[in-house]
Structure 1
Amino acid sequence: MRQLISSGAPWEPLVGYSRAVRVGNVVEVAGTTAQDGDAVTGGPDVYAQTKRALEKIGEALAAAGASFADVVRTRIYLTDISQWEAAGRAHGEVFGEIRPASSMLEVKALIRQELLVEIEATAIVAE
């Protein structure tokens, strides 16, 4: 069974994607940013933007019947890799001892100039 989880963003149907998809016991959460409506939560603060993106990932996981404890992999995309410690601190506060496999990469840009970080997650729900 395929379960699609929407964030309610108006561009999901336009672009043809879901915030998250659950198939069986696997949940994939798409690239998630701190964009809320027309605003970017956290302003020019990588830590604050990372925390907001992770909150939104938590909401998507919950909608799919999963939690942060089920996350086995994250991917963090930063527009400025010199900000890795701020993003890493926020990630560490959420994942603590869960410690999923994680990658952190610098990218040239995200969909809006104000966005500084985007995060993806993969979870496997225990059966």
Structure 2
Amino acid sequence: MSNFTLDNPAGVPSSPHKAFSNVAVVPLGERTLLMLAGQVAWGDDHQIVGVDDMRAQSRRVMELIGQVLAAYGATYKDVINLRTFLTDISRISEYGDVRAEFLDGLTPPTSTTVEVSSLFLPDALIEVEATAII
């Protein structure tokens, strides 16, 4: 028996091919670890929101992460790590500006940002994974 569950919270677009779950929920005694799958800027129709617009895609990604967190009573204050994949690192400041809006007033989590040649959806410019403890 595993001591974690995999879930796709209501209202958050999940994999169209059921290839992954949006979150792993791991009980840690009095706390719970949430490991969020990488989120891309897709809508409920699985189409990318904001094609070629890093700010729009960043905002959508951060909103989706917020929705997954909220499904477990968490917020960005509970996030301990963000892993960001950009298809063009020269656009990091556009992502950074949007990210700062969501982390305003919070101690920033640990993070890693890397450039990748592409993501699994051709028009995706950004993918972000998050880890939180509640």
TM norm structure 1: 0.88
Cα displacement (A) at 1:33: 0.4
Contact persistence 1:77–1:106 (CA under 8 A): yes
Please name the residue that 1:101 is paired with.
Answer: 110
In 2: Cα distance, 1:32 partner to 1:19 partner: 8
Please name the residue that 1:57 is paired with.
Answer: 65
Please name the residue that 1:44 is paired with.
Answer: 52
> How many positions carry a matched residue from both structures?
123
Q: What is the Cα-based RMSD across aligned positions, in Å?
A: 1.5
In 1: Cα distance, 2:119 partner to 2:126 partner: 8
Contact persistence 2:15–2:21 (CA under 8 A): no
Please name the residue that 1:11 is paired with.
Answer: 16
SS of equivalent residue, structure 1 residue 42: coil
Cα displacement (A) at 1:10: 4.9
Please name the residue that 2:121 is paired with.
Answer: 112
Which ranges in structure 1 are unaligned for 5 or more consecutive residues? Answer: none
Is the counterpart of residue 124 in structure 1 residue 129 in structure 2?
no
In 2: Cα distance, 1:73 partner to 1:28 partner: 10
Which ranges in structure 2 are unaligned for 5 or more consecutive residues? Answer: none
Q: Report which of the two has the higher share of helix.
A: 1
In 2: Cα distance, 1:47 partner to 1:64 partner: 26
Percentage of identical aligned residues:
33
In 2: Cα distance, 1:38 partner to 1:2 partner: 27
Residue 33 and residue 94 in structure 1: after superposition, are their counterparts in 2 closer, same or farther (change >3 A)?
Answer: same
Contact persistence 1:5–1:63 (CA under 8 A): no
Question: Which of residues 17, 24, 39 in structure 2 aligns to 1:21?
Answer: 24
- Deviation digits for residues 78-126 of structure 1 (CA, Å, limit 9, x no counterpart): 000000000111111101232111111100100122100000000011x
Runs of 4 or more off by more than 3 Å in structure 1?
none
